[in-house]
Structure 1
Amino acid sequence: DALQKFPLQGVRGLNALLPFDIAVHRIFAVDDEMHARFSATQRSYEYHIHFQKDPFLHNRSWLQRDKPDTELMNQAAAIIMEYSDFSCFSKSNTQVFTNNCKIVNARWEQTPNGIVFKISADRFLRNMVRAIVGTLMMVGKGEIAPQEVRKIIESKNRSNAGTSVPACGLYLTEIKY
């Protein structure tokens, strides 16, 4: 109740208590049944990669020496959107009821410093985005053809997919309810 009467003070107060990497911008009422994790209908992530040493990007983006072929990577990303069972991209021994997700967007874009992978889905499995990026990097480096992503997904076997890329480039960018 006090937060509704004094929203600016509530935001400032919460931000004063929170660590630097978490920020509150707004406070608003939600239904009592609302759950921050389970009520979400869509989540979006970005994975950032850069190609020149930059102290401002250290631990914020993954440094790669060679530029991958993003056109081939986007062909493979389009294939990923055709599927719903992503067992091959899930960390092993997780306690989930299903490995099904509905991916609505998956694409690579050029940035001034490198490339960024943007992906949105109704839900994600543990380690899924980093495993997808690792697999798409295999395509971009010419290690596998884009069509081979179909075989990887259909195998439902984590060991067939690419390695999990470092966490430093991964960002949760949006949650929709």
Structure 2
Amino acid sequence: MKRIKLTVAYDGTHYAGYQVQPNGNTIQAEVEAVLARMHSRAVKVVASGRTDARVHARGQILHFDTHLSMPVDRFVKALNAMLPDDILVQAAEEVDASFHARYGAKRKEYRYFFRGDADPFRRHHAVTVTYTLDHERMRQALRLLVGTHDFTSFSVTKAEVEDRVRTIYEAELVEAGDEMYFRFVGSGFLYNQVRIMVGTLLEVGRGKYEPADVSRMLASKDRRSAGITAPPHGLYLWNVNYEKVD
């Protein structure tokens, strides 16, 4: 038996999220169905984390155990030959049995894309913002999110975890041609945390909040104090890093 680590990209537009659920097709269900065909039995896949309906990934990490003796690089071709076109296995490697896609992750990077002009070819992959944004105000607010904080105000009220302290190592606003994106690198993120931070930052940019209000929101530990939850389709799980953080 050996453990295989996969790096996977997917377009989440037509999926009910990553994790298997009773109603709606999911990324996990598609991958596990293909592996079951290859192994002639059920194969459990573990991910670095769940993504919601319509959320995308550029660098989702999965792992599974296999008894197949085929070379590791053959898994990439075999899986891609049977997976839908909106799911792509980018790389496969054999890892130690102690590797765990979820619990071993040290840093995750998310990016949230938005644009000022509507584009029918990007409507499922970047959010159109119709109002004027002050980029400097948003950058000032971003700086206040960096560091170790209790992010209760930026998570759903009924979260699955009690400990809502997380560390954000990097946060920036990047202008990329016709689009812009927020980039967050952190130790981990609470359910809907990135989307709530983005919704709040956009409201700072349009003048509803002052940049300094972000500090007040963090201190309040009250979801009602922060801004809206941004739509899911602008969000991408960009990268997962397993190296120790200095």
TM, length-normalised to structure 2:
0.68
CA distance in 2, matches of 1:83, 1:67: 31
Name the structure 2 match of 1:146.
211
Amino acid at match of 2:72: P
List aligned pairs for 1:11-160, cutoff 5 A.
11-160=76-225
**RMSD over aligned Cα atoms:** 1.6
Amino acid at match of 1:172: L
CA distance in 1, matches of 2:222, 2:215: 12
Gap runs ≥5 in structure 2: 3-66
Runs of 4 or more, structure 1, over 4 Å off, are 1-5
Contact kept in structure 1, 2:149 and 2:218, CA below 8 Å: no
Secondary structure of residue in 1 paired with 2:132: coil
CA distance in 2, matches of 1:146, 1:90: 19
CA distance in 2, matches of 1:4, 1:32: 16
CA distance in 2, matches of 1:103, 1:19: 34
CA distance in 1, matches of 2:107, 2:68: 27
Contact kept in structure 2, 1:4 and 1:28, CA below 8 Å: no
Greater strand proportion: 2
Shift of 1:95: 1.5
Secondary structure of residue in 2 paired with 1:102: strand
Contact kept in structure 2, 1:73 and 1:139, CA below 8 Å: yes
CA distance in 2, matches of 1:95, 1:125: 9
CA distance in 2, matches of 1:3, 1:15: 17
CA distance in 1, matches of 2:123, 2:68: 38
CA distance in 2, matches of 1:40, 1:121: 10
Shift of 1:82: 3.7
Contact kept in structure 2, 1:76 and 1:147, CA below 8 Å: yes
Amino acid at match of 1:99: R
Post-superposition CA distance 1:92-124 (Å, at most 9, x none): 212213101110011111111121000010100
- After TM superposition, the structure 1 stretch with the greater mean CA deviation from structure 2, 15-24 or 77-86, is 15-24
Gap runs ≥5 in structure 1: none
- After TM superposition, the structure 1 stretch with the greater mean CA deviation from structure 2, 74-83 or 121-130, is 74-83
Amino acid at match of 1:81: V
Amino acid at match of 2:218: I
CA distance in 1, matches of 2:69, 2:235: 33
Contact kept in structure 2, 1:77 and 1:136, CA below 8 Å: yes
Percent sequence identity over matched residues?
Answer: 33
